Amino acid sequence: MRTIIAVAAAAAALPFAVPAFAQDTGTTGAGTMATTTAAQDDTPRSPDGSKAFGIEPYVGVLGGWERFDRQENAGIPVLPNKYRLDGAMVQGVVGVNVPLGPVFVGAEGNVAKGVSGDIDWEYGAAGRFGLRAGDSGLIYGKVGYQWVNFDKVPTANRDYHAVTYGVGVEVGPKDIGLGGITGRSGLRLRLEMNTFNDAKSFRPMAGVIAHF
């Protein structure tokens, strides 16, 4: 008789136990989902909302002008007045940035062709380091090594090389109000100033960099 009563009591309690169990399970699942979402929201981000850490390759095209001092520079001889050792150039660059939260480091190679004046070719490589600013901007310094070939120097040796230094900025679409035109295409405008050897040249450059 006691067995029959116990079975009946268990059967009567079952309809109430099942909804309570389901409610507890649903609460636990929602809590887990909220915790997961919170964890995702806490992921470090860069100023433009992309990952704070990673690898960002890029290519670019710049145009500019360089003027060398008349004093001896990295072995370049002092020339008569009619040789100015300057000229306009077009430069291609390829490199990679490594974002590290609010800062970045990277490396870059370049090849430039003179389109007027005494400079024929330039090529070199440099390391970059700086700050990430705004939605997609960069403020940086660079140090590297550059080779220069002149096509009008009246000497047997027309190739010279030395350490190069530079500073620059890159500004992304949102930083200059072009978000509706280029979206998140990764295009940035670059303004840069470089010098050859011990501040013996002046080379302003400007162009477009495409980041991937």
Domain boundaries along the sequence of the chain: 1-41, 56-211
Encoded amino acid at 22, one letter? A
d(CA 164, CA 145) in angstroms, rounded, equals 5
For CA atoms 45, 51, 52, 56, the dihedral sign is: negative
Q: How far apart are CA 139 and CA 169, in angstroms?
A: 5
Query: What class, spelled out in words, does domain 56-211 have in CATH?
Result: mainly beta
Q: Write down the pLDDT at residue 3.
A: 45
Provide the 3-class DSSP secondary structure of residue 128. strand
Mean per-residue pLDDT of the chain: 77
Q: Which residue positions in the chain have pLDDT lower than 50?
A: 1-39
| pLDDT tens, residue by residue, 118-144 | 899 999 999 999 998 877 789 999 999
Q: Residue 143's pLDDT is what?
A: 97
pLDDT at 211: 82
- Distance between CA atoms of 50 and 186, rounded to whole angstroms? 11
Contact 127, 106 (CB under 8 A): yes
* Maximum distance among all Cα pairs of the chain, rounded to whole angstroms: 124
CA distance 134 to 127: 22
pLDDT the model gives residue 45:
61
User: What amino acid occupies position 141?
Assistant: G
Q: Which residues pair with 143 in a beta bridge?
A: 127, 165
Give yes or no for a contact between 68 and 87, defined as CB atoms under 8 angstroms apart. Answer: no
